[in-house]
Amino acid sequence: MKNKNERLMEIRRLIGNRNISSQDELMKLLEKKGFELTQATLSRDLKYLKVAKMPDDREGYVYILPDKEKSVEEVELPGSGLSGLISIDFAQGMAILRTLPGHANSIAYTIDNLDAYEIAGTIAGDDTILLIPRDGVSRSDVINLLKLRMPGLIQDLVY
């Protein structure tokens, strides 16, 4: 049986990648992915993720993720043109991001303000960030999240 973190991430992926108009439709998609859950559990998960419904021309209403899910490019951030990341490494399930001196705080601040479920939090120094993912979040989940939500920041890195 898959755990809650995996289920929540899959709900986010499904809602982000397709138009889903009902809990029944979402539950069937989750069941196809191997998740066993009740309608009440799904309802609590949607509330926890702050999923809303929005009018759609073809489907009537569809689920959407909250506005906080916009990528950094779509959000006005102080000091736009975020850069300075040098490398990403992983140890003990956590990510270590190396930056140019003085850049770690602004990058960590931006990561924290993504309000991404996958990231429990960050700790920043002058040129290093410790990124702590939630249990069950893989390295590739972290990298994909940063690629999608912070385009341009990690495009040229080798990890």
Query: DSSP letters of 92-149?
Result: TTEEEEEESTT-HHHHHHHHHTT--TTEEEEEE-SSEEEEEEPTT--HHHHHHHHHHH
Per CATH, the number for 70-149 is 3.30.1360.40
Give the residue from 83, 68, 4 showing the smallest Cα distance to 36. 4
Residue 70 dihedral angles phi and psi, to the nearest 5°: -65, 155
CATH 3.30.1360.40 domain locations along the chain: 70-149
Do the Cβ atoms of 140 and 111 come closer than 8 Å? Answer: no
Please give the pLDDT value at position 157: 61
* pLDDT digit string, tens, across residues 107-149: 999 898 888 889 999 999 999 999 999 998 999 889 888 888 8
Q: What is the pTM of this model?
A: 0.55
Q: Classify residue 156 by burial, with Cβ atoms within 10 Å: 0-12, 13-18, 19+.
A: exposed
The CATH class of 4-68 is: mainly alpha
Do the Cβ atoms of 106 and 125 come closer than 8 Å? Answer: no
Crossing angle of helices 39-48/4-17, nearest 10°? 70
* pLDDT digit string, tens, across residues 66-101: 754 444 444 333 333 467 888 899 999 999 999 888
CATH 1.10.10.10 domain locations along the chain: 4-68
Please give the pLDDT value at position 1: 53
Predicted confidence band at 155 (pLDDT cuts at 50, 70, 90)?
low
